[in-house]
């Protein structure tokens, strides 16, 4: 048997395996009324391989939770139409979203507000002035 036949038989006997499937990208919903911050966080998370959905207030954020089913939510507290605390409370009341990680990102560092929000099962309470965008990404990665 010639070398070509030997190589062909080796290749022909090799089991066929499917290429490994890439894990689908995780989806993060950013609910932030400040367009500049919403865009900065969106670009940063996209550059880290996340799918990103945005909303500018709690009403639209709640709609996006239901329609997009994000893997995590980055949520501002102080917004028009519906604030983040109300959105979080309503989200946690819906079946299917009781365990979705929610990271509160706000400038309101009031300790009473922090306790109230954590009682609605926020996974993290981050103060905008005290955290870098890279740290936000790291925190999100710890939850999803």
Residue 86 lies in a domain: yes
The predicted structure's pLDDT at residue 122: 85
Asked if the structure places residue 58 within a domain, the reply is yes
Q: What is the pTM of this model?
A: 0.79
CA distance 8 to 47: 44
* Mean pLDDT, residues 99-127 taken together: 72
Task: Find the CATH number of the domain harbouring 77.
Answer: 3.40.50.2300
* 57 pLDDT tier (thresholds 50, 70, 90): very high
Instruction: Kindly report, residue by residue over 74-112, the tens digit of the pLDDT.
Output: 999 889 899 998 999 999 999 999 899 999 988 865 555
Whether 5 is in a domain gets the answer: no
Number of domains composing the chain: 1
Whether 9 maps to a domain, the answer reads no
Q: Quick check: is 104 in a domain?
A: yes
Q: Which residues pair with 27 in a beta bridge?
A: 51
CA dihedral 88, 142, 42, 92 (to 10 degrees): -10
41 neighbors 76 (Cβ within 8 angstroms)? no
Judge whether 111 lies within some domain. yes
- pLDDT higher than 90, residue 21: no
Task: Give the containing element (helix H, strand E) for 78.
Answer: none
């Amino acid at each position: 048997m010639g070398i070509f036949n030997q190589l062909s038989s080796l290749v022909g006997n090799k089991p066929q395996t499917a290429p490994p499937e890439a894990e689908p990208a995780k989806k993060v919903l950013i609910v932030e009324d400040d367009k500049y911050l919403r865009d900065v966080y969106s670009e940063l998370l996209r550059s880290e391989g996340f799918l990103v959905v945005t909303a500018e207030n709690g009403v639209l954020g709640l709609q996006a939770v239901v329609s997009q089913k994000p893997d995590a939510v980055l949520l501002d507290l102080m917004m028009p139409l519906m604030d983040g605390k109300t959105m979080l409370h309503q989200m946690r009341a819906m079946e299917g979203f009781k365990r979705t990680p929610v990271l509160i990102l706000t400038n309101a560092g009031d300790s009473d507000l922090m306790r109230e929000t954590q009682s609605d099962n926020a996974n993290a309470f981050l103060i905008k002035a005290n955290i870098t965008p890279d740290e936000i990404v790291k925190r999100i990665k710890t939850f999803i």
